Amino acid sequence: MTDEGLQSLGPMPELRDLSLSRTLITDAAMPMIAQQFPGLEYLRLDRTAITDKSLNEIAKLSSLQELSLFRTRVSDAGCPQIAKLSTLKKISLDQTIITDAGIKALQTMKQLESLSVWKTQVTDEAAEAFAKERPEVKLNR
C-alpha cells in the first residue's frame, strides 16, 4: 500500500481497525487517514516511514484506543501529541528512538493501560519512575 493507494479507498467513516504495517505509507498519508477513517479505534503503522510529523494528524482520531508504532521514526518530540489522545489505552513504541523524556510525556495519560517501549533508549531509572507513578499501567521493556 502506498499513499496514493490509500487515497483510492475513499472515505470509510465506520472503519474501526486499520493495519498499514510494512507498507510504503509516509507522513503525507496521515491527513488522509484522519479524514477518511475518523472512527478508527485500532491503528498499526509498524515498520513504516512514519515520523513525529504524523502524530499531529493521528491525534485527531478521537476514538483511537490502540496505536502501534513499532520500528517507526517516532521520537520524544512526538510523545506530547500522542498524550493528547484521551481515548488511547495501548501504545507500542518498541524499537523507536524515544528516551526518558518521551516516556515522561506519556505519564499524564490517565486512561493508559499498556505501554511498550522494548528496545528503546528509555533507561531503567525512567521506567522505574514511570511504574512508580503509574503502577496500573502494564509497562513492557
Q: How far apart are the first and last CA of the chain?
A: 30
Nearest to 121 by CA among 100, 91, 92: 100
Distance CA 32, CA 61 (A): 12
Distance CA 115, CA 106 (A): 9
* Predicted confidence (pLDDT) per residue in 2-18, tens digit: 999 988 888 999 999 99
* Predicted confidence (pLDDT) per residue in 50-74, tens digit: 999 999 999 999 999 999 999 999 9
pLDDT at 7: 86
Domain locations in the chain? 3-140
Distance CA 3, CA 86 (A): 27
As assigned by CATH, the class of the 3-140 domain is alpha beta
